[in-house]
Chain A
Amino acid sequence: EAGVAQSPRYKIIEKRQSVAFWCNPISGHATLYWYQQILGQGPKLLIQFQNNGVVDDSQLPKDRFSAERLKGVDSTLKIQPAKLEDSAVYLCASSRTPLSGNTIYFGEGSWLTVV
């Protein structure tokens, strides 16, 4: 079974530029998550999708971050304009259902450096 795929793996941009990250979850997984992991910290949930609907985006900085999952499969996370403090690893994850105890599988992450 293929894992969660993310691209690009690495990106360096200047502040105020924009960037987009793509995620393809494990086949058949209805729930998709985007996490932000700043160096030295644990991952923090940005947004959670159930199929193509948003179920939690309470910690997404909506003035600069946006995400979509139009067909309930792939997802894109966009940052515009980027700030220095957005430098982090952006982790996409998926699970079959959003139930407690269900295993959440993570991709390798997209490493963003804002200079």
Chain B
Amino acid sequence: GDSVTQMEGPVTLSEEAFLTINCTYTATGYPSLFWYVQYPGEGLQLLLKATKADDKGSNKGFEATYRKETTSFHLEKGSVQVSDSAVYFCALSDRNSGGSNYKLTFGKGTLLTVNP
């Protein structure tokens, strides 16, 4: 079945440091890939997405490139801020058991803490 593997957290960085959160996936079809973010006490929010190979999703300074050859979708940001502290989830969208609809499969999440 489909699965998503993220790097283990927690990740602790100083402000303005470079961030990478690794994500690899296994899927039977040709999935779309997503990064969701969950700020403390809030629901999941879409951060960025990519729907085909070599697409780069970007938002709020975060980027991730859909790499089909390595089945990866690593999240990067050049300079993190304290306000980026949150849990980050990698996810893929692939056909569900019924075959006609798509569902999201999530990784376990990576907690990021950015210190001033």
Chain A residues proximal to chain B, CB less than 8 Å: 4, 31, 33, 40-45, 48, 50, 55-56, 58, 91, 93, 98-109
Contacts and interface: CB of A to CB of B under 8 A. Distances in A.
Contacts of A106: 36, 43-45
Contacts of B32: 100-101
Given A48-B103, A100-B31, A103-B49, A42 B108 contact: yes
Given A42-B107, A99-B102, A91 B51 contact: no
Contact of A41 (B31, B98, B105, B109): B109
A4 B108 CA distance: 23
Nearest to B111: A40
Given A43-B106, A56-B101, A100-B102, A48 B43 contact: no
B69 interface: no
B44 A55 contact: no
A94 to B, nearest CB: 12
B51 A101 contact: yes
Contacts of B31: 100
Contact of A56 (B4, B43, B49, B97): B97
B25 interface: no
Question: Nearest 5 pairs between A and B by C-beta?
Answer: A42-B106, A98-B101, A101-B51, A106-B44, A108-B43
Nearest to A3: B43
B112 interface: no
B94 interface: yes
B43 A109 contact: yes
Interface in B80-96: 89, 91, 93-96
Of B31, B91, B106, most buried by chain A (CB within 10 Å of CB) is B106
